[in-house]
Amino acid sequence: MNFLDKFRYSFDNLNEIENLKNEDKEKKNIYNNPFLKSLLSNSVKVTNEIFPKISEAIDQVFLRLKIKNNFNFFVTANHFQTQAMCAMMPQSSNAEIIITSKMIELLNHNELQSVIGHEVSHFYYQHSLYPNPDKARNRVEYINFLHLSRAAEISADRAGFIGSGNIENSLRSMLKISSGLGDEHINFNFSSYLDQLRELKEIKGDQSQLFSTHPTFLNRMQALIWFSMSHEYHEFFETDKKGIYDLKTVDKKIDESIKKVTGGEIDISNKEISDKALLWGALWIYLADKKFSKEEQEKFSKRFGDKATVSIKSLLNISKISVIEKKVTEAYASASTLLKSEKEKIITKIKEIYSEADEHNDKSKEILEKIIKLLNG
């Protein structure tokens, strides 16, 4: 296992995608990148003969990251956009890294290494396996997919930090890219720049960031600083410091910080869908014996509140069981689009509810199995 696996951001997790099979995660000895023809036609491939300094920077990054160079690097003429990207196909054994001329002109040797390490790690971590947010089935799945995309950037930034040799190189590159300005214009006072993050949180964040594939540079810089303060980082690189936080705590702090900037809608929306699924699932289980006993009503009220219980009792007085089953189906159709970790929480709670029911018979067991099947799509 490469140390990059140890330092992967815990919320950057391919296992959150329910239908992703193990064979999908295995890199195969294939190379079928459709971008290559266009790149060879319209960009310049990085070789030691043409771009010796860039080539040297690349070699140093791979030595630091301790991974094999299965990449073609290209410089493309673009004097307006400071960009780099990793063009890859899922399961491919190779990838292309494209860097704009504007990026190379703006950054120095070590700062450029931060970008190279970042892009290389997208291939290493197989981020191309994450679903395209535009293919989401509803708004909640869409914003959850985008949250995974933002998480992928945190992992990639850590690789960029290590690939560049020290944290200052990464922070300098981020400040230059976010401002578009070079050394002659910037005093690299990172704490002063991060004051903007505090201001942003004080005004309840920027909800437009909920629909971004990348966290703000403010979040990303803060995340790198916290990572550099972790016990695991200092232990692995044998520094003379011990660190302040364990990496699990760092990751939770980063996740909370990003959510504060995006307005917190992800947790709110996930909870609304989960709560609705649990409510209708619980009712269906309790009605397995076609009764909603006083004891079950008390348990229902304790879990979902008096107001919800009164509403359900009123509905039962005028509705058939088929109406309840329809409500269950609708609730779990929405819940099936949640990430795997959220669905596992629902399954755990619905099993608790099942265990609390007055009776356990073949019918109630069948209902529990149907609920889990609906949840898993």
Dist CA 79 CA 176 (whole Å): 15
Q: What does the pLDDT read at residue 18?
A: 74
Q: What does the pLDDT read at residue 91?
A: 62
Domain boundaries, the chain: 3-263, 267-375
Q: What does the pLDDT read at residue 158?
A: 98
Classify burial at 1, counting beta carbons within 10 Å of its beta carbon; exposed 0-12, middle 13-18, buried 19 or more.
exposed
Spell out the per-residue pLDDT of the chain, length 377, in tens.
Answer: 789 999 999 999 999 997 665 555 555 554 556 778 889 999 999 999 999 999 999 999 999 999 999 899 999 999 999 999 998 866 667 899 999 999 999 999 999 999 999 999 999 999 999 999 999 999 999 999 999 999 999 999 999 999 999 999 999 999 999 999 999 999 999 999 999 999 999 988 899 999 999 999 999 999 999 999 999 999 988 888 889 999 999 999 999 999 999 988 999 999 999 999 999 999 999 999 888 999 999 999 999 999 999 999 999 999 888 999 999 999 999 999 999 999 999 999 999 999 988 777 888 899 999 999 999 97
In sequence order, what DSSP letters do the residues of 338-366 get, joined into one string? S-HHHHHHHHHHHHHHHHHSS---HHHHH
How distant is the alpha carbon of residue 206 from its chain centre?
Answer: 18
Dist CA 50 CA 47 (whole Å): 5
Residue located via tokens 């860039």: 54
Secondary structure class of 186 (helix, strand, coil): coil
For residue 314, what are its two tokens?
């009123």
Residues 6+ apart with CB under 8 A from 327: 280
DSSP-assigned beta bridge partners for residue 100: 76
80: DSSP letter: S
Q: What does the pLDDT read at residue 263?
A: 87
Number of H-type helices and E-type strands within the chain? 18, 4
Secondary structure class of 125 (helix, strand, coil): coil
**235-242, Cβ contacts within 8 angstroms, sequence gap of 24 or more:** 236/3, 236/6, 236/7
